[in-house]
Structure 1
Amino acid sequence: MTTDSATPPAPGPGSALALIDDALARPFPAGEESEDNGVRSSGPGHHLLILRASRDFWDDRSLETVEPAEQEIEEEFSLLASALSERWGEPETVELWPYLEEDGPTPEPVSQLSNLAGSMQVWRLPDRGGRWLGLAVGQADPEFPIWLLAAVGEDSVLPG
C-alpha cells in the first residue's frame, strides 16, 4: 500500500467514518482481482484503508518530530475507536505479531497489517454480511509516515 497516487482525508472522525461506511458497503473484488489507489487497497475478501497519515521522517527522526506525530495519530485513533464503539460496542484486541510467525500464507488484510502494527481493535459485524472492521496504528519503517488504518475483512480470516 502506497500513498503516492492519493492523499488520505483531512483529520477528523467524520471523514474517517464516511470512508469506513463506504468500505463496509463496497463489495470485495472477485477472484484474484485487486485494486490499489494509494489510500485504499482491496482484494478478495478485504479492503484496507489509510484513514490518516503523518508526515514522513526521512529528513528528521528526532523525538521532537516523531512524538507529536505519534500523539496526533493516536488521538485520532481514540476518537474514531470511541465513535465505532458507540455503534457496535466494545472491540476486541487482536494481536497481529503471531501472524508473522506462521508457516503458511496469512490471508489479507491481516498479512499487510501484521507488517505494520502489533495489534488492532476489531468489531465483528454479523449484520454486515459476516464482516469485521479493524482499526490500527502502523508504520512500515521509521522513515515512513505513521498511518491510521482501517481494515474490513471476512470473518473466516480471524480466529474466534
Structure 2
Amino acid sequence: MTLDEQLTTVDALRRRDFPAQRTHSARTESGPGFHIAALRVSRELWDADPAEVAEAEEELGAALTALVGALSLRWGEPEVLDLSGVLERSARGLPVRPPLDALCGYVPRMYAWRSADRWIAVGVGQGDPVLPLQLLVAVGEGEATGAAGAPGRGR
C-alpha cells in the first residue's frame, strides 16, 4: 500500500461509524469505539534469516516514518504512546479498554493525534518473532492512553 493509499485508509477509518460488536475482515478489526487496520504487512518471518528480518524492520520503519511525517503535517507533532504499561496491566488481569487490549501485545509504541472527537495512532508491531511485522493504524473515541497505561490526554 502506498503512502497515499495509507492516508486514504486513515481518512476512511476516521469517518467510519463504529460497529456495536467486534467485527473482523482481512486487514481490519472494528468494535464499539475503535477500528484497527493493517496498512502494510511483511511476509511471515518464521524461516527468515537475520538479514531478511532486518530488511523487513527497516522497510516497515521507513513506512512508519513517512506516515508519521504526513500525519504530522495535518495535525502537528504526535503524542508518543508507550503501551508497555497497558501490556503490564493486561498481564496482571486488569481491564484494558479496546483497542488497546488488542494492540498492547504486539505494538510497543504508537504515535497519536487528535482529530475532532477521535484519536488516531500508528505504529509497527509483531505479535511473535515468527509472525509478519505490521504497520497499523488505530482509530478510537474518547482519550488515547498515557505512558503509564492509564487513560490520559490525547492530542
- With normalisation by structure 1, the TM-score equals 0.86
Partner of 1:48: 36
Q: Name the CA distance, whole Å, in 2 between partners of 1:38 and 1:45.
A: 19
Residue-by-residue CA offset, 1:22-59 (whole Å, 9 max, x unaligned): 100000012xx121002000000000000000111122
The counterpart of 2:83, out of the listed 96, 108, 114, is 96
For the aligned residues, what is the CA RMSD? 1.1
Partner of 2:149: none
Partner of 1:21: 11
Q: Name the CA distance, whole Å, in 1 between partners of 2:24 and 2:95.
A: 21
Partner of 2:125: 138
Contact 1:51 1:149 in 2 (8 A): yes
Find the residue that maps to 2:56 and give its secondary structure.
helix
Identical aligned pairs, as a percentage? Answer: 38
The answer for unaligned runs of 5 or more in structure 2 is 146-151
The answer for unaligned runs of 5 or more in structure 1 is 1-9
For these two proteins, the number of residue pairs brought into alignment is 144
The counterpart of 1:83, out of the listed 70, 91, 97, is 70
- With normalisation by structure 2, the TM-score equals 0.89
Q: Name the CA distance, whole Å, in 1 between partners of 2:45 and 2:84.
A: 24
Q: Name the CA distance, whole Å, in 1 between partners of 2:40 and 2:141.
A: 23
Partner of 1:4: none
The counterpart of 1:72, out of the listed 43, 56, 59, is 59
Q: Name the CA distance, whole Å, in 1 between partners of 2:142 and 2:3.
A: 25
Q: Name the CA distance, whole Å, in 1 between partners of 2:126 and 2:32.
A: 24
Q: Name the CA distance, whole Å, in 2 between partners of 1:98 and 1:88.
A: 25
Partner of 1:35: 23
Q: 1:81 to 1:156 in 2, by over 3 A?
A: closer
